Amino acid sequence: MKIIEKLQLQTFTFLTEGDLQGAKKVYAGFLNSNSLDQFFEKILNPVMEKIGEMWSNGILSVATEHVASNVAHSLVKIILEERKHKGTNGKIIITTPVGEEHSLGCSVVESYLVNRGFTTFNLSPSTPAESVLNFMRSVSADGVIISITLSDSIPAGQRLTKKIREFNKKIPVFVGGQAFTDGSKAKFDATILDSNQSLVQLPKILKKSKK
């Protein structure tokens, strides 16, 4: 735990100071003896949650939060490019409902699924329902993942899942994200991925839904 806390502190410092190279070194060093999903779940995700909380409480400025988010996005993009290969496990659309501007969760999921052999289409952030449906007409996807970070975006997410269901009753739809960590009881015509399900379980859930 002390090592994890040290790496989280280093990552926090690098992100908030805009040091992409420093963040890359933490990532590379961590993966010498750990897996990608562990990096996301033990290092990057908790640090970004902390940064979000500190911004919400007025401890960090908007500018610092933006710097940290941009560096985190760049890091995830680098990870994605490093591990990109032709996917054979299925095609997954990843998106956020209209009004939801937080797309880091989508990028993390995309990076991990690509590493696990999936072909992904990341439509985030803030995708209008009609745009999602139009894309579904052009791509024969095996599933849709909707990421919701803010609880205020839940109604838009519910409307999006409803329209997807009206368009295609059979396609598996999954909803998850930070908005559900407080035990939200919002109902969706979809499978809700709660905070107790680790990232490593997601490929198994997606493969099972294809059968």
State residue 194's pLDDT score. 73
Read off the pLDDT of each residue in 47-75 and give the average, rounded to a whole number: 92
Helix (H) / strand (E) element for 173: namely strand 173-176
Both tokens assigned to 118? 């999936």
Q: Domains along the chain?
A: 2-83 (1.10.1240.10), 91-210 (3.40.50.280)
Contact status, residue 11 vs residue 75, Cβ threshold 8 Å: no
What's this model's pTM, rounded to 2 decimal places?
Answer: 0.79
pLDDT band at 208 (very low <50, low <70, confident <90, very high): confident
CA nearest to 68, candidates 129, 131, 22:
22
The residues, any chain, with a CB within 8 Å of residue 142's CB and separated by 6 or more, are: 90, 91, 92, 171, 172, 206, 209, 210
Question: Is pLDDT of 196 > 80?
Answer: no
Contact status, residue 148 vs residue 105, Cβ threshold 8 Å: no
